[in-house]
Amino acid sequence: ESCEGPCEEERGAGGVPCHCHPECHRYRNCCRDYAHHCHHGGFSRSHDSITDQDLLRISEQLYQADENRAQLGDLTINPQYQAAPGELGHQLDHCPQPLYKYVNEELFSKPTYSSFIRLLDNFQRSTGKEEEVTEEELREQEEFLREVMETKVMEKLFTFLQQKNRYDSQEEFYSDLKEMWFGIYSRGDGQRDSSGFEHIFSGEVKKGKVSGFHNWIRFYLLEKEGTLNYLSHNFDGPWDTYPDVLGLQFSWDGFHKELGSAFIGSSPEFELGIYTLCFISRPGRQCHLSLGGHSLSIQTYPWTKSSYGTGKKFIATA
């Protein structure tokens, strides 16, 4: 589990939990001490490294490129009660009114929104239940990824990652996005029951609690149909335009989310892009970004119990 010694390991070496070859950052399977022992041959000291300054710069570029995000007239939220830290587990409804006071649903006719929404009914929300992926659902995944790949947000992200030697072509990037986000793994009882997309954007229920579920569009649609009840918030970001960031508590069909966070008013491509950036750049660590001059940190985690391709990791959460 250490790179002390095997820095010149050939890519493809098997039977080890982590790797030390020069492309291990690209495949997100480096040992923790890779930079310390192998700095001469890897991303940590080369032009391929993604520095903290790079992240601040590219995150601002992605923020500015998000043409499809909600404008101030498109969205009005009503945060109401702000819960103190000691109140987060109380499961009390402090907010008699919905979180979303108004949403201009014309937003949802934009191609990335409409293709995103079509994905949301494709999942069994309970972990431990096998996901059966139909041909139609596979087409919907591909349609969504094709739409987001045509946006300025994902064009800028691909250009950045290509310059950093993470991908050689848009086709390679597209294929990797499909695996890291929609590849299915087992989150419970050995069943192929979960994916990064389902967990983060659609939400799951595990051991009687809401797990994941960090998307404002999903929240709004369920609140509108009456199956989701907004309870309180504990954080409201400093942004006076969208996307904003909200920390919140809610119940979904009686299942409780004690502490969740979400962008408010961002486009699907922005969320997919910013989480992908952090997962590739800082998997399992804090990813420090800047949006509109304000600091933001995103924490991602790789799924460590299974992999795809040459040892690449699926997204567990962001």
- Catalytically active residues are 199, 214, 257
Where do the DSSP E strands lie in the chain? 75-77, 100-103, 204-206, 209-211, 228-236, 244-252, 255-264, 286-291, 294-299, 301-308, 312-317
What are the residues facing 247 on neighbouring strands? 235, 261
Residue 212 and residue 193 in contact, taking contact as beta carbons nearer than 8 Å? no
Six-digit token string for 271:
């969320």
Q: What is the DSSP string of 190-218?
A: TB--B-HHIIIII-EEETTEEE---BHHH
Torsion angles phi and psi, residue 102, rounded to 5: -155, 135
3-state DSSP assignment of residue 133 = coil
Distance CA 103, CA 136 (A): 29
Residue 247 and residue 75 in contact, taking contact as beta carbons nearer than 8 Å? no
Is omega for the bond preceding 243 within 30 degrees of 0, making it cis?
Answer: yes
What are the residues facing 294 on neighbouring strands? 291
What are the residues facing 312 on neighbouring strands? 308
Quote the Cα angle for 66-184-313, to 5°: 70
